[in-house]
Structure 1
Amino acid sequence: MSKNPFVNSLVALAYIVVVVFTINIIDETEVNSGLAQYIMPVMVISLFTLSAAVMGYIFCFKPITLFLEGKKEEAVKLFLKTVGIFGIITLGLILFSILVIGQQ
């Protein structure tokens, strides 16, 4: 990805938003009967596997590249900053949902 932990965190968040919208669209369709009821678990496990790969790329590709180039300290800092910023964004979304959405 990039050397900017904010960009990496926002790309991860954007990917999650796309996945959630996709799941909501699929959930609105009738997939609980016939052959579709057997395909749904395969889709869920496939999506989980794809998500693990995408998130691994977003969070780890650049730090691993830097590490292999001998820039170990920079690699660790980038990884920890990316995870930290993503954690702050996640905590912010949780607090927003509790304080704002939960009050409605």
Structure 2
Amino acid sequence: MKNKIVKTALINTLLTAGYVILVASFMFYAPRILNFDKGPDTVFAPILMLLLFVLSAAITGWLVFGKSVMWYLDGFKKEALSLLSHTLGLLFALIAVALLLLLSF
């Protein structure tokens, strides 16, 4: 069970990181590609950003907490807390590595 927990936590972490990279890339490149930086300011930009924020919170919340909550509700409380701890620990490690890479350049 321990290997399954670590594997699931690693998959959740990598999927979360992939989603964050995808959204960050969209936010960085979309204005240039779609020529949004040359158009007039409208109310649609903040609406789009808030909708993207809500969608991102739902997706990352599901990736980080989804399986843990399901296991917890199914009675596997110790395993659920272990999965959540491993997932958050791996996310923290990934953030630390990204921060070190950012500061090294």
TM-score range, shorter chain: 0.7 to 0.9
State the alpha-carbon separation in 1 of the partners of residues 59 and 38 from structure 2. Answer: 28
Equivalent residue, structure 2, for 1:72: 77
The letter for the 1-side match of 2:36 is E
RMSD: 1.6
Q: Give 5+ residue unaligned stretches, structure 2.
A: none
Distance 1:78 1:86, change over 3 A: same
More helix by share: 2
The alignment status of 1:94 with 2:81, answered yes or no, reads no
Give the partner amino acid of 2:75.
G
- Return the offset for 1:26: 2.1
8 Å CA contact 1:31–1:40 kept in 2: the answer is no
CA distance in 1, matches of 2:80, 2:73: 9
Give runs of aligned pairs for residues 13-28 of structure 1, distance below 5 A.
13-28=17-32
Instruction: Give the Å deviation of 1:27.
Output: 2.5
Instruction: Write the distance in 2 (CA, Å) between the matches of 1:32 and 1:51.
Output: 26
CA distance in 2, matches of 1:54, 1:30: 26
Whether the 8 Å contact between 1:64 and 1:75 is mirrored in structure 2 is yes
TM-score (norm 1): 0.86
Deviating 4+ runs (over 2 angstroms): 29-34
**Which of 14, 27, 30 is the aligned partner of 1:10?**
14
CA deviation after TM superposition for structure 1 residue 31, in Å: 4.6
CA distance in 2, matches of 1:68, 1:11: 23
Question: How many angstroms does 1:32 deviate by?
Answer: 5.9
